[in-house]
Copies of this chain bind each other. A is one copy, B any other.
Amino acid sequence: MTLNEIGRQAKEVSRLLGILGSREKNMGLEEAARSLLEGEEEILLANQEDCEKAKNSGMSQGLLDRLMLTPARVQAMADGLLQVAALEDPVGEVLSVKLRPNGLQIGQKRVPLGVIGMIYEARPNVTADAFGLCFKSGNAVILKGGSDAIRSNQAIVRCLREGLVHAGLPADAVQLVEDTNRDTTRELMRLNQYVDVLIPRGGAGLIRAVVENSTVPVIETGTGNCHIYVDESADFNMALDIIYNAKTQRIGVCNACESLVVHRAIAERFLPLLKRKLKDKQVEIRADEAACAIEPSFTPAAEEDWGTEYLDYILSLKLVDSLDEAIAHINHYNTGHSEAIVTSDYFNAQRFLNEVDAAAVYVNASTRFTDGEEFGFGAEIGISTQKLHARGPMGLKELTTTKYIIYGDGQIR
């Protein structure tokens, strides 16, 4: 099937999905979950083939871990669909109705986006997760996963589609682009006629490629060069706990802390404590000259350190003379994800919240909370680091748009 046909079918099915009630959509999700569990063996076999091929071609252990499915992971995918079924359906809510002086009633109603394109890498669980969220929010989804996971994705999508058919719903609510060559991906990025939005999920390279090449509107997700600023008035123990958590609880995630900014007035007392706190995780600290003068065991930072998302046991560290300098530094180098201040000062907390430009700005808490579950959305399709449409964790509501519905009785201008 050509990409154009996939697009046309998705658009056609999206008309139907847009007017389905929650009861039917939830039945579809439940049948899809059941079908995933019934197809476990087929999915695991397909995944085994993917993994062997990836191993032979030298995939790193970290990526192999992401690619590999187990019975528990298949169960988790099915559970994920049931969790989405339990979430409130955002579609159909009328946000407001205004009566205009001429008698027109103008309402704004939440409706699905239509057709969502997902472009992602070799994590086959994204296949089921993305389907669940897109389907519950009334959208058709076109999935384009990485070539390394193609057999796994084929097996998962086959199960999802069987589940839908069982529930009397159209299989084409979820379609997989099986042709994994780059030209097809580029074509998908320019399928404006049928695709309403593209959501890339994966590394910085993938996301940049989608932003660079798409004519379809893109929601940029992902990279997080997250800072923690330790203010002059910070409670040291709180700061150390937050830094330890944000850096080391999980290093490969976009809301992990990558860079510290510390007020110079407390540096002599704070840096030795910091060094001791991070010792058991062997975190390397790449610091500016002034910090290295206080703690010679720190590695001297290079300019590129300030802009680097390490996703590793590494932290950059910069001393500043003022909150102004801290905010300017963070606004210059951050990626618009999550930024935190540790402070006891009311005015500094307020200024940081107001002036730091990011999706999530924290006072006295770990940046690791930027997450759909933690924010209470139940599930998320990604974390938007751009400003248009959605910013921060994206749940079901962020997969909708609105339309104006206007009730008249013959009004003309």
Query: In the complex, what residues of B have CB within 8 A of residue A303's CB?
Result: none
Q: Would you call B401 and A369 a contact (CB within 8 A)?
A: no
Complex Cα distance, B366 from A370, in Å, reads 45
Which residues of A from 352 to 380 have beta carbons under 8 Å from B? 353-355, 357-366, 368-370, 374-376
Query: In the complex, what residues of B have CB within 8 A of residue A370's CB?
Result: 404
Partner of A361, one of B98, B354, B362, B405: B405
Complex Cα distance, B259 from A371, in Å, reads 47
Complex Cα distance, B245 from A411, in Å, reads 9
Nearest B residue to A331 via CB reads: B15
The segment from A42-50, A273-281, A382-390 that touches chain B is A382-390
Whether a CB of chain B sits under 8 angstroms from the CB of A106 is: yes
A171-187: CB near B (< 8 Å → 1, else 0) gives 00000000000000000
Whether a CB of chain B sits under 8 angstroms from the CB of A315 is: no
Q: Please, how many residues of chain A have a CB less than 8 angstroms from a CB on the other chain? A: 65
Nearest B residue to A235 via CB reads: B410
Complex Cα distance, B376 from A15, in Å, reads 30
Taking the closest CB of chain B, its distance from the CB of A301, in whole angstroms, is 22
Whether a CB of chain B sits under 8 angstroms from the CB of A74 is: no
Query: In the complex, what residues of B have CB within 8 A of residue A363's CB?
Result: 406-408
Query: In the complex, what residues of B have CB within 8 A of residue A287's CB?
Result: none
Interface of A is mostly: mixed
Whether a CB of chain B sits under 8 angstroms from the CB of A413 is: yes
Q: Would you call B406 and A369 a contact (CB within 8 A)?
A: yes
Nearest B residue to A370 via CB reads: B404
Interface-centre pick from A100, A244, A409, A412 (highest chain B CB count, 10 A): A412
The segment from A24-32, A122-130, A215-223 that touches chain B is A215-223
Q: Would you call B391 and A375 a contact (CB within 8 A)?
A: no
Query: In the complex, what residues of B have CB within 8 A of residue A217's CB?
Result: 217-218, 386-388
Nearest B residue to A351 via CB reads: B19
Question: Which 8 pairs of residues, A with B, have the shortest CB-CB distance?
Answer: A365-B408, A245-B412, A387-B401, A389-B389, A360-B404, A365-B411, A364-B408, A238-B410
20 CB contacts below 8 A, A to B, read: A15-B331, A100-B375, A114-B357, A197-B387, A212-B215, A217-B388, A241-B410, A241-B412, A249-B413, A362-B408, A365-B407, A365-B408, A365-B409, A366-B411, A366-B412, A366-B413, A368-B413, A369-B406, A375-B404, A391-B404
